[in-house]
Amino acid sequence: MVHHLSQNGSAILNVESLVKKYRDFTAVDGISFQIRNGETFGLLGPNGAGKTTTMRIISGLSPLTEGRVDVAGIDVSKSGREARNIIGVVTQHDGLDNQLTVRQNLEVHGYLVGLSRRAARLKTQEVLQFFNLEERGDVDIRTLSGGMKRRIAIARSMMASPMLLVMDEPTTGLDPQSRNRVWEQLGQLKQSGVTILMSTHYMIEAETLCDRVAIIDRGHLLELGIPEDVITRHAGQQAAIIQLNNAASDTVKSIVKEKLSQQGCSFSEIGSRIIVTAPEGERPELEAIKDLAEARVSYRPSNLEDVFLTLTGRELRD
């Protein structure tokens, strides 16, 4: 698809010491990161972490309190309008017009971003073709499933050939099948060279789509890097799951936790399960615990959820 191209590998977004305060509450507390041209970058964090706030500021929809945000060298605080022209935004609310067809929604959006009638018509055709949505063109929005609406909203964001696409939780609320279709769509965009900033609280989504992730919590950036590197650094190659059976008393639980502490393992308790990770290592060695009658030990590959648990002691989703 036709979109602005700039030199590959150069930073297209620069976020520097970003702070956002709502009265005396600090929602974003000094976050810095850069996104390179062509990259898919994920903001990963639980509800309330500050993801939406950060993305609204980057999109020129909300003023920042302190710090600086540049998109392709444009300061969003000083030239919000200019910045908005080169950013495509997909919010959590699709904001499609139910009275119009798919094609009309795209065309109207085209006029809004400054295309002529003819250009908007041509671009709509190009966008629908690109996403294999041509046969949906004349369908009324209100008859579409939630997943299809999301795909149309993403298609619409491409009407202005943005240099940066900002998407707030693109698959939240979708069933697994629709989620897969949206992932395919985002993969297509990525392949065509579009730079994407997205937020998610699904770690699988981040692992599947993102070249790099920033893990944020309570307005702070906790980690930033390539998903596999971040996982290995904090959670090792494999995580152990200790499943305690019903016969396990609190004393047994305490013994297990004490052994883990002695071994220097990170662990978190979720009900009757204890998830154990060995930072930088292969996998936690739990020979002593395996011998306990009340405990069953199994292993699985470590993931970003483990990283979040290790860093915060909490799960990504409450």
Which of 215, 256 has the CB closer to ligand ATP?
A: 215
Q: In what order do the strands lie in the sheet with 74-75?
A: 25-36, 11-22, 66-71, 74-75
Burial-class residue 177 by CB neighbours within 10 Å (0-12, 13-18, 19+).
exposed
Give the range of 21-29, 183-191, 225-233, 293-301 binding ligand ATP by CB under 6 A.
Answer: 21-29
| Minimal distance, residue 47 CB to ligand ATP, in Å | 4
Question: Shortest gap between Cβ of 114 and ligand ATP (angstroms)?
Answer: 29
From the CB of 28, what's the least distance to ligand ATP, in Å? Answer: 7
Q: Which is nearer to ligand ATP, 27 or 100 (CB)?
A: 27
Does 63 sit near ligand ATP (CB under 6 A)?
no
What count of Cα atoms within 13 Å lies in the side-chain half-sphere of residue 291? 5
Site string for ligand ATP, 22-61 (x = CB under 6 A): x--x-x-----------------x-xxxxxxx--------
Rounded least distance, CB 26 to ligand ATP, Å: 9
Q: Are 300 and 241 in contact (CB under 8 A)?
A: yes
Nearer of residues 31 and 248 to ligand ATP, judged by Cβ: 31
Q: How far is the CB of 248 from ligand ATP (least distance, A)?
A: 35
What is the closest distance, in whole angstroms, from the C-beta atom of residue 166 to ligand ATP in the complex?
Answer: 12
Question: What is the rounded distance in angstroms from the CA atom of residue 247 to the CA atom of residue 250?
Answer: 10
Cβ at position 54, least distance to ligand ATP in Å: 7
Instruction: State the Rg of the chain over Cα.
Output: 23
Size of the site for ligand ATP (CB under 6 A): 11
Q: Which two tokens stand for residue 85?
A: 């022209």
Site string for ligand ATP, 203-242 (x = CB under 6 A): ----------------------------------------
Q: Which CB, 51 or 136, lies closer to ligand ATP?
A: 51
Q: Give me the least distance between CB of 169 and ligand ATP, in Å please.
A: 6
CA neighbours closer than 13 Å in the CB half-sphere of residue 210: 31
Question: By C-beta, is 57 or 127 nearer to ligand ATP?
Answer: 57
Instruction: Give the nearer residue to ligand ATP in terms of CB position, either 47 or 191.
Output: 47
Residue type, position 147, single letter: G
DSSP, collapsed to helix, strand or coil, labels residue 105 as helix
Give the long-range contacts of residues 311-317, CB within 8 A, separation 24 or more. Answer: 311/215, 311/217, 311/222, 311/223, 311/234, 312/217, 312/222, 313/268, 314/46, 315/46, 315/270, 316/44, 316/45, 316/46, 316/201, 316/203, 317/46, 317/201
Residue 150 CA to residue 172 CA, distance in Å, equals 10
- The amino acid at 289: I
Q: Phi and psi at residue 265, in whole multiples of 5°?
A: -85, 150
Nearer to ligand ATP, 198 or 239 (CB): 198
Binding site for ligand ATP (CB under 6 A): 22, 25, 27, 45, 47-53
